[in-house]
């Protein structure tokens, strides 16, 4: 019997990862509107305290 092939990469990750420690646990410090209908979120890593700014598109 032939098994179907899985085209997904086994090491693919989803979500935001801390550039310093690599963990994926963040706390949002604040959110505000940015140009072009985007949202700016300032986040801090719960493990090492590194601050990261993300820009998100508003889905609609």
pLDDT at 37: 87
Q: What is the pTM of this model?
A: 0.68
6-37 burial code (b ≥16 CB/10 A, e <16): eeeeeeeeeeeebeeeeeeebeeeeeeeeeee
Which pLDDT band, with edges at 50, 70 and 90, does 6 fall under? low
Q: Does 42 score more than 80 pLDDT?
A: yes
Number of helical (H) and strand (E) elements in the chain, helices listed first:
0, 3
pLDDT at 52: 95
pLDDT at 25: 94
């Amino acid at each position: 019997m032939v098994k179907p092939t899985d085209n997904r990469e086994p090491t693919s990750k989803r979500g935001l990862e801390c550039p310093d420690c690599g963990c994926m646990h963040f706390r949002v410090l604040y959110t505000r509107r940015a140009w072009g209908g985007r949202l700016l979120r300032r986040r801090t890593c719960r493990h090492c305290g590194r601050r990261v700014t993300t820009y998100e598109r508003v889905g609609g």
